[in-house]
């Protein structure tokens, strides 16, 4: 039976998912809501926003969609899976009561504390006054985290008391991240290598994918503001077999067991942001979906038919799946609009995209693009993710940076040091 699949979202992650779904021999037609100019190559784009939950469910019903895949965090936290399930529709992603693991940092920290999952020491605050008073006795640097969803930008690392006080004002009083800042988590600053591990989950079983590492800061040398991610590489040379075994035993499976014990079984993709500290791996944060841009380096290395894996997660038989990744490497460099993540212009024509056609191991995933009178133009801060495979990380890095030259648009900006940490491994 050939399937009709709907993907919800419009970024580089959803483009990577659409590309991977298009490889499945089981799929006949792909829709994406709302999609973007790159996704349109694989999917029929539908003009419904990701937060229009009932409209999306109406569409899935009227078009007899066999499987819906939710790419974005906002609709998951808002309960899109519950809306679909209430109508008897098959959908991949965690229910609302499980997606809270990303929707509330305070909730996820409490779960880690209760079930002894290694993480940084922390305190949670409902009022700015209480947070400011706590900071008077704190040691620095320290980390402030807006409790809710903030597009990957609601985390501030503060090196002094004054910086931390300004941070509390930004998050809790000025509400720069909206209602995400109604609660604040203040936690100890951890040092070490960061690693991202995405894992498929079926409510009971968890199967980690290959590792990746993101680069959050806007500028070279990890300077500048936090962004949604400026590039990634996979695998991380620092995520050794020993580290993986520790994480499976003390982090991944315990997280699954904890969520089940709380009456919130987690089905979908769990993203574990890890810090490899001198005291062992600890959880920085959880997300309830594929990372962006981690998906852009992990999915091209995955050998399974992704539809088989999605369905095993929904049906609770993930233990039957042998998850396989190629023995190679991938690097993704984000091409952004100059000025991102603050002020930037959009609407510039993008040229050179055709250079990726028919080139094995080279991909361009669209994040902020749209069609404008037959041309593809920039339509966001992060515009494209240029991904290349290689025999090893250095090879993949060389290929990715070479491929960034194939594409031109006005105000094009990228970091020049994505994957530089590879040289130190």
Q: Do 159 and 245 share a structural domain? A: no
Is pLDDT of 318 > 80?
yes
Total structural domains within the chain: 4
Q: What is the pTM of this model?
A: 0.94
Token duo for residue 92: 């991949």
**Positive or negative torsion for Cα 93, 94, 96, 100:** negative
Is pLDDT of 176 > 90?
no
Q: Do 269 and 350 share a structural domain? A: no
pLDDT digits (tens, 9 = 90+) for 195-251: 999 999 999 999 999 999 999 999 999 999 888 899 999 999 999 999 999 999 999
**pLDDT, average across residues 55-74:** 98
Is pLDDT of 154 > 90?
no
Q: Do 299 and 203 share a structural domain? A: yes
CB of 48 closer than 8 Å to CB of 56: yes
**pLDDT, average across residues 277-306:** 97
Three-state DSSP state, 255: helix
Token duo for residue 53: 């939950």
Q: Do 386 and 271 share a structural domain? A: no
Q: Do 352 and 295 share a structural domain? A: no
Q: How does residue 152 score in pLDDT terms, banded at 50, 70 and 90?
A: low
Domain finish residue from 285, 320, 355: 320
**pLDDT, average across residues 59-76:** 98
Domain housing 225: 193-320
Q: What is the pLDDT of residue 39?
A: 97
Q: Do 378 and 338 share a structural domain? A: yes
Q: How far apart are CA 186 and CA 342, in angstroms?
A: 24
Using the structure block, give the residue that is written with the tokens 């980690």.
208
Does residue 105 sit within a domain?
no
Is pLDDT of 153 > 80?
no
CATH of the domain at 413: 3.90.600.10
Report whether the peptide linkage leading into residue 293 is cis, meaning its omega lies within 30 degrees of zero: yes
Q: Do 129 and 92 share a structural domain? A: no
Does residue 110 sit within a domain?
no
Does residue 171 sit within a domain?
yes
Q: Do 419 and 355 share a structural domain? A: yes
pLDDT digits (tens, 9 = 90+) for 389-424: 999 999 999 999 999 999 999 999 999 999 987 776
pLDDT digits (tens, 9 = 90+) for 251-282: 999 999 999 999 999 999 999 999 999 999 99
* Among 314, 310, 404, residue whose Cα is nearest residue 363: 404
Q: What is the pLDDT of residue 421?
A: 75
Query: At what angle are helices 12-22 and 306-315 packed, to 10 degrees?
Result: 100
Strands 217-219 and 193-202: unpaired
CATH of the domain at 166: 3.30.1490.20
Which stretches does DSSP call E strand in 288-422? 329-337, 362-366, 369-372, 375-378, 382-390, 412-413
Q: What is the pLDDT of residue 424?
A: 67
Average pLDDT, the chain: 95
Q: Do 334 and 309 share a structural domain? A: no
Q: Do 404 and 356 share a structural domain? A: yes
Q: What is the pLDDT of residue 425?
A: 58
pLDDT digits (tens, 9 = 90+) for 115-142: 999 999 999 999 999 999 999 999 999 9
Q: Do 167 and 226 share a structural domain? A: no
Q: How far is CA 154 from CA 135, 147, 229, 272, 382, in A?
A: 18, 8, 13, 17, 17
Q: Do 142 and 49 share a structural domain? A: no
């Amino acid at each position: 039976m050939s399937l009709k699949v709907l993907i919800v979202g419009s970024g580089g992650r959803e483009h990577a998912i659409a590309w991977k779904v298009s490889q499945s021999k089981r799929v006949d037609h792909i829709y994406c809501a709302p999609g973007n100019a790159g996704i349109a190559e694989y999917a029929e784009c539908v003009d419904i926003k990701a937060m229009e939950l009932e409209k999306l469910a109406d569409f899935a019903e009227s078009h007899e969609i066999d499987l819906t895949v939710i790419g974005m965090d906002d609709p998951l936290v808002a309960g899109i899976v519950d809306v679909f399930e209430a109508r008897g529709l098959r959908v991949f992603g965690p229910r609302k009561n499980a997606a809270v693991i990303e929707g509330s940092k305070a909730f996820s920290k409490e779960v880690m504390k209760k079930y002894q999952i290694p993480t940084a020491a922390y305190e949670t605050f409902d009022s700015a006054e209480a947070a400011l008073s706590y900071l008077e006795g704190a040691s620095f640097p320290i980390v402030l985290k807006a409790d809710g969803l903030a597009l990957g930008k609601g985390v501030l690392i503060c090196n002094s008391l004054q910086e931390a006080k300004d941070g509390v004002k930004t998050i809790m009083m000025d509400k720069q991240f909206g209602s995400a800042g109604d609660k604040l988590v203040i936690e100890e600053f951890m040092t070490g290598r960061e690693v991202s591990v995405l894992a498929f989950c079926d409510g009971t079983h968890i199967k980690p994918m290959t590792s990746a590492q993101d680069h959050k800061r806007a500028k070279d040398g990890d300077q500048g503001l936090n962004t949604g991610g400026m590039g990634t590489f996979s695998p991380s040379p620092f995520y050794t077999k020993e580290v993986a075994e520790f994480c499976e035993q003390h982090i991944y499976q315990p997280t699954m067991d904890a969520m089940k014990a709380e009456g919130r079984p987690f089905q979908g993709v769990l993203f574990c942001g890890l810090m490899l500290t001198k005291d062992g791996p600890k959880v920085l944060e959880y997300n309830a979906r594929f990372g962006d841009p981690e998906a852009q380096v992990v999915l091209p290395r995955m050998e399974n038919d992704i539809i088989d894996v999605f369905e095993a997660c929904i049906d609770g038989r993930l233990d039957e799946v042998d998850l396989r990744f190629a023995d190679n490497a991938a690097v993704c460099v984000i091409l952004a609009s100059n000025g991102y993540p603050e002020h930037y212009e959009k609407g510039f024509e993008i040229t050179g995209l055709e250079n990726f056609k028919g080139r094995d191991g080279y991909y361009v995933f669209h994040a902020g693009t749209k069609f404008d009178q037959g041309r593809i133009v920039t339509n966001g801060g992060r515009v494209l993710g240029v991904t290349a495979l290689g025999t090893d990380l250095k090879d993949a890095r060389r290929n990715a940076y070479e491929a960034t030259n194939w594409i031109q648009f006005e105000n094009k900006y990228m970091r020049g040091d994505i994957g530089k940490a590879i040289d130190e491994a």
